[in-house]
Structure 1
């Protein structure tokens, strides 16, 4: 990581987020989509689903409609809902800090 940091000192994430959960959601949405489009969709999405529990309990069709502009919305909605469930069931609703746990989602 130090070598990468030295090589690319000014790298920053283009996704807009305020919490680890928001970053995780935005990262899922960014697959096959521009960060700009994700940033257009996420403010309303984060307001509607501010917690892992609200994401886990979402109605699939409603979630799909909110993320439709990002493409592959059915799969992404299922993934987000599953992540919400796993966060609630395995990590107390919080995004885990350990990479191994995060990748297991």
Structure 2
């Protein structure tokens, strides 16, 4: 196997892994958050080095505060409340 082919397979594997992670975060956000917290927990221990703790804080999922400012979007109530639920589409004849 040549080095170019190995690099190509590595890039494809990274892209597939990133796509799977995004799909997991979109379809199962609680599971993805638990996986992130589980990966970050060993890195956040006090006996770990500064770099490992920095990576652990970066990996650690953001905590939802329960207000509309955290951007979780799970309740569907965030956003403008005065917006109509339905909008009517009006077609106009072309101008001559």
With a CA cutoff of 8 Å and minimum separation of 6, indicate the structure with the bigger relative contact order. 1
Give yes or no for TM over 0.5.
no
| Structure of higher CA gyration radius | 2
Q: Which bin holds the TM-score, normalised by the shorter protein?
A: under 0.3
TM-score w.r.t. the length of structure 2 is 0.28
